[in-house]
A and B are shown apart, each in its own frame.
Chain A
Amino acid sequence: KNEVEQSPQNLTAQEGEFITINCSYSVGISALHWLQQHPGGGIVSLFMLSSGKKKHGRLIATINIQEKHSSLHITASHPRDSAVYICAVNYNTDKLIFGTGTRLQVFP
């Protein structure tokens, strides 16, 4: 059983829409990461957070430690946001445990 659950698995949106991707985990963590992987394969770290909220451009990541839940929001989505978004956690070690990813397609 994967210890990191993401939803939805697939998501389609029209350009301009507000997007939310969810991640839940099973026990206490030291950090949670949001990663982006474009077609063609490169993986980019978007956020690393252990509490609260972080914002970078149109991307916002939040985490609720009590609920063991994190969300990644994309405001004013654009076709170039089309990618797989992966949630990963550190369970008090350096090792990352990955979710299965959310495939996002944004249409013009």
Chain B
Amino acid sequence: DARVTQTPRHKVTEMGQEVTMRCQPILGHNTVFWYRQTMMQGLELLAYFRNRAPLDDSGMPKDRFSAEMPDATLATLKIQPSEPRDSAVYFCASGLVLAGISYNEQFFGPGTRLTVL
């Protein structure tokens, strides 16, 4: 049963600490998305990758957030230093985008619930 996995599922940390969230996309998928969900803003795209290359990170605060794909089976989202306003649920999703098609079905991971005190 192929699914997107994310770790940790929950993270409580203090302001100023570094937070790293990990995502394992579905094997064979070539596109990985990072989303943030808050009560106020709903779901927002932070960044996404195609074949491990970053395509768009315009939704991400660049001074403290960074996203990488060190290999095809791992995507990471890092916050350093973390702030209370970063408290949210962070979702990773993956999909298979075919050549010439600008959309794909996305499969979401269970999310990482981050609380920054």
| A residues lining the B interface (CB < 8 Å) | 30-31, 33, 35, 41-45, 48, 50, 86, 88, 90, 92-96, 98-101
B residues neighboring A (CB under 8 Å): 31, 33, 42-45, 48, 50, 55-56, 89, 91, 93, 97, 102-108, 110-111, 113
Q: Which DSSP category, helix, strand, loop or mixed, fits chain B's interface?
A: strand
A45 and B43 in contact, given A94-B55, A95-B48, A95-B56 (Cβ under 8 angstroms): no
**Inside 8 A of A86's CB, which chain B residues have their CB?**
43
B107 CB to nearest A CB, Å? 7
Complex CA gap A45/B107 in Å reads: 7
Compute how far the CA of A41 lies from the CA of B103 in the bound complex, rounded to whole angstroms.
Answer: 24
Contact (Cβ within 8 A) B105 A48: yes
Residue in chain A with minimal CB distance to B43: A98
Knowing A86-B43, A95-B56, A98-B42, say if A41 contacts B107 (CB, 8 Å).
no
Question: Given A45-B107, A99-B42, 10 other A-B contacts at CB below 8 A?
Answer: A30-B102, A42-B110, A43-B108, A45-B106, A94-B50, A95-B45, A96-B33, A98-B44, A100-B42, A101-B42
Q: In the complex the two chains form, is B103's CB within 8 Å of A30's CB?
A: yes
The interface residues of chain B lying within 8 Å CB-to-CB of A44 are 108
Q: Choose one: A30, A42, A101; the contact of B108 (CB below 8 Å).
A: A42
Which B residues are in CB contact (< 8 Å) with A92?
102
By the criterion CB–CB under 8 Å, are B43 and A94 in contact?
no
A94 touches B48 (CB 8 A): yes
Task: Please give, as numbers and ranges, the residues of chain B lying within 8 Å of A31 by CB-CB distance.
Answer: 103
